Amino acid sequence: MRITLGFILLIFQISISTAQTGTISGTIKTADGQHAEYVNIGLKNTSMGATTNKSGNYEIRKVPHGKYTLQISSIGLESKEVPVEVESGKTVIVHEIVLNESSEKLDEVIISASRAYKDNEMSSSMRLMRPILETPQNIQIVTGKVLADQQVISMSDGVLRNVSGATRVEHWGDMYTNITMRGSQIQAFRNGFNVVNSYWGPLTEDMSFVDHIEFVKGPAGFMLANGDPSGLYNVVTKKPTGVTKGEFTLTSGSYDLYRATIDLDGKLSRNGRLLYRLNVAGQNKNSFRAYEYNNRYSIAPVVSYQFDDRTKLTMEYTLQHSKMSDVGSFYVFSTEGYATLPVDFTTMPPGLAPTITNDHSLSFNFQHEINKNWKLTAQAAYYIFFQEGSDMWPAAVNTDGTMIRAVSIWDAKSEMTLAQFFVNGKIQTGQISHTILGGLDLGTKNYMADWSQNHQLDSIGAEFNTASPSYTTPVNGYPIPNRTLNLEARAVYSGGLIDQQYSGLYLQDELGFLENKIRLTLAGRYTFVKQSAWGGSPDEARHFSPRIGLSASIDKQTSVYALYDQAFTPQSGILANGKDVKPITGNNTEFGIKKDWGNGRWNTSLAIYRIMKNHELTSDPDSDPNSGLSVELGQKRSQGIEFDLRGTILPGLNLVANYAYTDSKVTKVTEGVTSISVGDVIPGFAKHTANSWLSYKIQNGVLKGTGASLGFTYLIDRATATWSKTENTKNLPDYFKLDGGIFWEKEKFKITANVFNILDKYLYSGGYYDYLPAYYWQTEAPRNLRLSLAYRF
């Protein structure tokens, strides 16, 4: 009873102490309307204070009741003092504070907008709670400022120029992204959840509700559930900041692009505990190819509630609706060779029914600070999308330039229920610090699709002629799919079922030596997976994956690292030889150096890696790609060098630049596979990839706020997108794309105009199908323009 009474009294004392304190929060901007990072905010005559984050926000917790003066200062910006009164148990929201540039500003000092191309911290969904500079892995962040300056409107629209070695070879418009990096297709994540449920998904994210994107090179399955040895990208959505603000953007462009977005951020309660964020977007978009379109809208509300200084719950819902023309219309086929048809050529007949997708996601994130050293996070998500549409694919391609077009039904449903629980903590044993991460991952995924119904638009003797195309009603009419049975019954009939259940336990200890200048990471993950696919029998697999990393700080701005990691990735498919599918296993060895320059204005990273992957599936080169048949490679090796630079070189001068050398080949072939040989180049990547984006804004004078941007993408020694026995189709020609534009911003307004493919080059990717046999390729848009007007309020 004494123990119980003592515990009750302790809780009572804590409650009284908590009730007698409050919180101060707010935001700081510069005179040009940009968020001010790294501004110091202190309470005068106390030791309490905070520093603004990348959004210009700050928060000072556990402030005793009373009146105070905020002291605000930053090198290169004017200082200010603001009175504030704190009430017990409440959050005081300080009105937005605007700082002007100081007349004593030094040339090397940067303001908030200057840091917008560089981010030092990963999101909490990455779990590591460690600055990127000290993490023993190559991690690159594409910030919201970069996305806005480049007028990126979806995940599949120009994001990859900002990351070394990332390419996008095959695509279906803005339907699915499918990114290749380090020789393989990487996994798609959102807020720390693996949202891949089939080769084609998920539906690519609209940028209206995206805060930033994190690219993790190499194995990251340990950190974020199951993943590929080549890496992942993690889309981090916008969250409430507690500051009342908003932004409205209108965008128009070539090929009838009309787009509007609104971003609202604020509080729903006077005490600032209940916050919201709402992002809404709508667009109509046609194509440089006739009869193609992609019309979308998205709605993304987020609500968070701060129970007390230590506990917070965030609830998020996202709806994406897409109505687009048949996804197969992006492909062009010919027996004559690549680029032998006009850049805007299409086989698409007008009047073909659209493909409609409704993508829903609902997530909950609960965070509780147990004490100053330990934090618990629990989150769960439910993802479901419905797709109803079709996919064009030729039944025959003839040497005289004629072909028989065919349309297959493509109705699909994807459903995922995911949960994660993890704890972050710090302890000290003598002179050694320990940064602990441990947790549990759980997931159930189900995918079903009907692609069994096929309709030929043309017939023998009445083929579609690519030399003299006719876009009247096809001779065999339009397909009329039979949807009498429910989707699951049709999916069973066509063998279009995938299901997966997985669980994983992991523990990591990062040991810090010599005042944390040397950091040794020791970790392990145990994963259990049960799955079945395409009508096959269920398979089970278990695997333990170790992780060893070493990071050392040469000085405060330079670190070197080494990493050995393993991956375990379930995969699904039907092997052409009828055998069971094995999970992908692999290991990664990586060395790198990271450095901040110019007092943290910009940074560079250099990584050297080698990845070995076993049992990976690839489409059977001897079969129709729509047959669903696969073969097992055996083993492949990817190795290379990556260099990334991002940040502000001089005040107003922002730069993103990167280069990657990628060498990916088959090293072992599974017995019985004759269509692939040792030494074959892995499809879908470029051996040399270089990108840049340079932006400069005038800082003073009459033209202050006016700027210009210029960037390029250069791909050299490109491999085709598919396997082929035809030797002269192994490589695609080099690729060079030049983009650029101008902008003007002042206070609450910004106008941006960019021209893409300035040189008006014929740009494409493709491959060769032996079974047709024919070349195929997908073209990109000729020279085109986008114009945006943004208003912040």
Amino acid 140 reads: Q
Q: Supply the DSSP string of 356-411, one letter for each residue.
A: EEEEEEEEEEEEEESSSSEEEEEEEEEEEEEEE-EEEEEEEE-TTSEEEEEEEE-E
Omega within 30 of 0 (cis) for the link into 773:
yes
Q: Are strands 731-732 and 735-746 parallel, antiparallel or unpaired?
A: unpaired
Joined tokens for residue 50: 């905070």
CA angle 277, 278, 283 (to 5 degrees): 150
150 backbone dihedrals φ, ψ, rounded to 5° = -90, 0
CA–centroid distance for 1 within its chain: 54
- Three-state secondary structure along 292-311? CEEEEEEEEEEEEEECCCCE
- Topology at the third CATH level for domain 21-99: Immunoglobulin-like (2.60.40)
Helix or strand (DSSP H, E) at 666: strand 653-669
Q: Are 778 and 767 in contact (CB under 8 A)?
A: no
Reading the block at residue 417, the tokens are 């229920």
Those residues whose C-beta lies under 8 Å from the C-beta of residue 441, and which sit 6 or more positions away, are: 225, 419, 420, 502, 503, 504, 506
7 burial via Cβ count (<10 Å: 0-12, 13-18, 19+): exposed
User: Reduced to 3 states, what is the DSSP secondary structure of residue 5?
Assistant: helix
| CATH placement of domain 245-792 | 2.40.170.20
Q: What is the mean pLDDT of each run of 10 residues along the chain (793 residues)?
A: 46 46 86 75 80 82 86 77 87 85 41 60 81 91 94 92 87 80 89 86 90 86 62 93 92 97 94 94 96 96 93 97 92 93 95 95 96 94 95 94 95 96 94 94 94 94 95 95 94 88 93 94 90 77 88 95 83 68 81 92 95 79 63 85 95 95 89 78 89 95 95 93 65 93 94 98 91 90 97 94
Residues in the chain: 793
Q: Quick count: other Cβ atoms within 10 Å of Cβ 575?
A: 19
Q: One-letter amino acid identity for 250?
A: L
Q: For domain 124-237, say whether CATH 3.90.79.10 is its number.
A: no
Would you say the C-alpha torsion 201, 204, 209, 214 has a positive or negative sign? positive
Torsion of the alpha carbons at 669, 674, 675 and 676, rounded to the nearest 10: 20
Instruction: Please spell the DSSP secondary structure of 255-272, one letter per residue.
Output: TTEEEEEEEEEEESSTTS
Q: Where does residue 472 rank: exposed (0-12), middle (13-18), buried (19+ CB within 10 A)? A: exposed
C-alpha span between 619 and 162 (Å, rounded): 29
Alpha-carbon radius of gyration of the chain: 27
**Per-residue pLDDT, 184:** 85
pTM, whole model, 2 decimals?
0.84
Decide: helix, strand or coil at residue 114. Answer: helix
Domain boundaries, the chain: 21-99, 124-237, 245-792
Give every CB contact of residue 759 below 8 A, 6+ residues apart in sequence: 736, 737, 738, 783
Which residues touch 672 (CB under 8 Å, ≥6 apart)? Answer: 577
What are the beta bridge partners of residue 99?
A: 30
27, exposed or middle or buried, with CB in 10 Å at 0-12, 13-18, 19+?
Answer: buried
Checking DSSP bridges between strand 355-369 and strand 686-697, what pairing results, if any? unpaired
Residue type, 286: N
Nearest to 384 by CA among 416, 355, 418: 416
97 vs 312: CA distance, rounded Å? 26
How far CA 550 is from CA of 380, 544, 793, in Å, comes to 32, 20, 46
As a whole number of angstroms, the distance between CA 83 and CA 63 comes to 14
Burial (Cβ within 10 Å: 0-12, 13-18, ≥19) of residue 95: exposed
Distance CA(776)–CA(330), nearest Å, equals 10
DSSP 204-225: PPBGGGEEEEEEEES--TTTSS
Nearest of 312, 311, 329 to residue 390 by alpha carbon: 329
- Give the tokens for residue 488: 């699951």
Return the structure tokens found at 263: 């971003």
Q: What is the sign of the dihedral through the CA atoms of 670, 673, 676 and 677?
A: positive
Token digits of residue 434: 């320990």
Torsion of CA 697, 703, 704, 710, to 10 degrees: -10
Q: Name the amino acid, one letter, at 773.
A: P
Q: What residues contact residue 251 under an 8 Å CB cut-off, 6+ apart?
A: 151, 153, 257, 258, 259, 260, 261, 283, 786, 787, 788, 789
- DSSP run (H or E) holding 24: strand 21-30
H helix or E strand, kind and range, residue 17: helix 2-19
- Residues 220, 145 contacting (CB under 8 angstroms): no
DSSP string over 736-777: EEEEEEEEEEETTEEEEEEEESTT----EEEEEETTTTEEEE
Q: Are 613 and 635 spatial neighbours (Cβ–Cβ below 8 Å)?
A: yes
Interatomic CA distance for residues 136 and 193, integer angstroms: 21
**Per-residue pLDDT, 105:** 39
* Residue 697 exposed, middle or buried by CB count within 10 Å (0-12, 13-18, 19+): buried
From residue 14, how far is each of 10, 21, 48 by CA, in Å?
6, 11, 20
pLDDT at 223: 57
